[in-house]
Amino acid sequence: MKAGRSVIARLRGWMTEPMLIAFGVFGSVPFWISEVGLYPYLGVEVLVFCIFALGFNVLFGNTGLPSFGHGAFFGIGAYGMGLTQLHLVPNLWIGLLMATFVAAAFGAAVACFISHRRGIYFALMTIAFSQLFFFIASKWTSVTRGEDGLLNIRRLPADFGIVTFPLRSNAALYWFTFACFIVAVVLLWRLVNSPFGRVLQAIKQNEERVAFLGYDVWLYKWLSFVLSCAVAGFAGGIFAMGQGGAFVQVMSLQWSSVVVLMVLIGGGLVSFWGPVIGTVIYFIARDLLGAYTETWLLWFGLLFMAMVMFKPEGTAGLGANLSRRLMAVRVRAGTASVGAGGTGGM
């Protein structure tokens, strides 16, 4: 009896209700996405950017370090995947590993130069480095094929030894990306709720006090940056397979700011799920507004400005307010008992 409960307790440490809801929603996407007039490949894009944004939020929302150049690492991951399968070995796992590892390695080098910074100086340095990588990628044509893009990146089959799943169709790639999304969500959820995650959140609030408690602030910031770059590279690797190529545009400043936009709109500063919510909003806006007007980004930008002015905590903050108000109503009606300490971080 007791053992059973502790297993459940341990499982609850890895799985939360919002996770189950999110997995349920994304797991049902292939069954209705075509019915509502959208297309399966959109689902791949959404999930890839969800992973990217979740990793980015380790740095941005948790550590409080604004990077406006993370598209560079996403792009490096895409090239890493492409170059590995074109020149090294056409294996999905090795490709993804290389995408992750190479992006992390570049991130590690960059982080050495910026981990003693914070705020606007940190942001400016990330822009400078991402521009550097952008220009290298667009000029070093013998490796990256420059403006043409690195083409013919294949969707390699997922080989599990006994069974092999081809990922050539959009539907199959969606399921694969969905599985990656689940792994990423669970691991990142644990990360932000681990002792390590607490230190990052403490650094965001009061860097100096953390140092006075004996923590090596520089190293934590460095690690946070490297981790977010690794996740960006991983997502970039899948994206390269999705697009069938690696293109220099994703490394541009504009793409880097898109991920910031997603996280802020969704409410990544207050919620673990902010990046996911923001990514979904972004793609829905792109496809729905985009269907009506070429200038959809203008409207999206205005929406973003309104959000920052009236609700800086983003969509997740709005949701939290709403649920608190609902709770208050219910308490007044005497139907619910409120437990103390509802930080939760949902």
Site of interaction with another protein (CB under 8 A)? 13, 187, 190-191, 193-199, 201-202, 205-206, 208-217, 220, 223, 340-341, 343
Q: Closest CB to another protein among 206 and 254?
A: 206
In whole angstroms, the minimum distance from the beta carbon of 217 to another protein comes to 7
CA angle (174 as vertex; 171, 175 as ends), nearest 5: 95
What minimum distance in Å lies between the beta carbon of 71 and another protein? 25
Tell me the chain's radius of gyration from C-alpha atoms. 21
Q: Closest Cα partner for 90 from 155, 30, 164?
A: 155
The residue (of 27 and 312) whose beta carbon lies closer to another protein is 312
Judged by beta carbon, residue 206 or residue 321, the one nearer another protein is 206
Q: Where are the beta strands (DSSP E) in the chain?
A: 150-151, 158-159, 164-165, 245-246
Cα gap 107→75, rounded to integer Å: 12
Least separation, in Å, of the C-beta of 31 and another protein? 33
CB of 76 closer than 8 Å to CB of 248:
no
Q: How far is the CB of 12 from another protein (least distance, A)?
A: 10
Kindly state the tokens that stand for 125. 């340095």
Nearer to another protein, 152 or 194 (CB): 194
**Shortest gap between Cβ of 316 and another protein (angstroms)?**
15
Q: Which two tokens stand for residue 293?
A: 């007007």
Shortest distance (Å) from residue 45 CB to another protein:
28
Q: How far apart, in whole angstroms, are the C-alpha atoms of residue 247 and residue 339?
A: 51
- Measured distance CA(235)–CA(273) in Å, rounded: 17
Round to whole Å and give the CA distance between 229 and 52: 9
Instruction: Pick between residue 142 and residue 343 the one whose CB is nearest to another protein.
Output: 343
Classify the phi-psi angles of 145: left when phi > 0, otherwise alpha if psi is within -120 to 50, otherwise beta. Answer: left
Distance CA 180, CA 171 (A): 14
> Least distance to another protein from the beta carbon of 113, Å?
20
Select 305 or 327, whichever has its Cβ closest to another protein. 327
Token reading at 321: 């307010």
Write the single-letter amino acid at 48: V
**Closest distance to another protein from the beta carbon of 117 (Å):** 17
Rounded distance between C-alpha atoms, residue 29 and residue 39, angstroms: 10
In this complex, which beta carbon is closest to another protein, that of residue 194 or of residue 254? 194
Owner of token pair 């203008």:
298
CB of 215 to another protein, least distance (A): 6
Backbone angles phi, psi at 287, to 5 degrees: -80, -35
Q: Which of residues 197 and 236 has its CB atom nearest to another protein in the complex?
A: 197
Picking from 259, 185, 231, the residue whose alpha carbon sits closest to that of residue 21 is: 185
Locus of tokens 């990423």: 184
Query: Measured from the CB atom, is 74 or 189 closer to another protein?
Result: 189
What DSSP designation does 252 have?
Answer: S
